[in-house]
Amino acid sequence: MIPRRASLGTGAALIMVTVSLALWAGGAQDSQNPSADKEIDTMSPDLPGSGASRVPPPKVDALERNGIRYEPALSGLPLDATDVSGWMRATNIASGEVLWLAQVYTNPDPVDPFLPGGGRNMIAMKRISMSGNMIEVEDIRGRRFLVDPETGTSTPSGG
């Protein structure tokens, strides 16, 4: 009796799991229209996640000094960058040569799996200016960093 009951229970559980998964998959495709276009429904495989509409970050003026332009890097980041905050590029204005591309600050927030873009918002730059012989960068959260103009290495400067 006992083994048989266990086997029935296991069978019932398996059926329930299968039905639940099938129902979930159906619901995930389209709760309103089960015959909807499959191509549309599988646009992005990552669930549940979210999408957001956002306004652009503040525009930051590039800093030009000794023939070199220092600016936020918004493209051309390393393809494996999981944190897109704080990237900066130094370019020789005359030759167009990129002297360095560096991440001068990071996003300290824990990964939020519901946030679009890999679970971390980009913390935008607010200002790039000179501070003595160093470049000072401020982000939209008010954090400040001193950046070596030669190498792009940075340290927090308080504030």
The DSSP element (H or E) to which 54 belongs, if any, is none
Q: What is the edge-to-edge ordering of all strands in the sheet holding 63-65?
A: 63-65, 68-72, 87-92, 98-103
- How far is the C-alpha of 83 from the C-alpha of 75, rounded, in Å? 13
Please, which residue, 1 or 55, has the CB nearer to another protein?
A: 55
Stretch that binds another protein, among 8-16, 34-42, 62-70, 147-155 (CB under 8 A): 34-42
Stretch that binds another protein, among 4-12, 67-75, 131-139, 149-157 (CB under 8 A): 67-75
Token pair recorded at residue 30: 């389209």
Establish if 116 lies at the interface with another protein (CB under 8 A): yes
Kindly state the smallest distance separating residue 114's Cβ from another protein, in Å: 6
Establish if 112 lies at the interface with another protein (CB under 8 A): yes
The DSSP element (H or E) to which 135 belongs, if any, is strand 134-139
Using an 8 Å Cβ cutoff, are 104 and 86 in contact? yes
Binding site for another protein (CB under 8 A): 24, 27-33, 36-37, 39-44, 46-56, 72-79, 81, 84, 87, 109, 112, 114-118, 121-122, 141
